[in-house]
Amino acid sequence: MFRIAISRLTDDGRRITPEHRGTALSVDEAVHALREVLPTVDTTAFQSDAVQRSVNRVNDFRHDVATADGSHYRVVIAPMM
């Protein structure tokens, strides 16, 4: 299982405000949840094997994304322990 955290970045990334938290059974399900919360975000960086390699190496996957309206978010996918 994985936990998903999506936070809004403001003040050039100095301020992080939690927007969404959830869980998923797989990386693909986590990416699907991301698409539901932020439908305009490009999710090509969230390939299943890239996320899994990062989780195995550093225990989570973090990626900053931007929406079509210019808002910035940090997405974290991490295993539940």
Q: pLDDT tens-digit profile of 50-60?
A: 888 888 888 89
3, 62 contact by CB (below 8 A) = no
- Residue 71 in tokens: 């808002």
CA separation for the pair 80, 65 (Å, rounded) = 23
Q: Which single residue is written with the structure tokens 């299943």? A: 48
pTM of the model: 0.87
- Residue 37 in tokens: 């919360």
Q: pLDDT tens-digit profile of 10-32?
A: 998 899 999 999 999 998 999 99
- Residue 42 in tokens: 């490009």
Q: Which single residue is written with the structure tokens 């210019």? A: 70
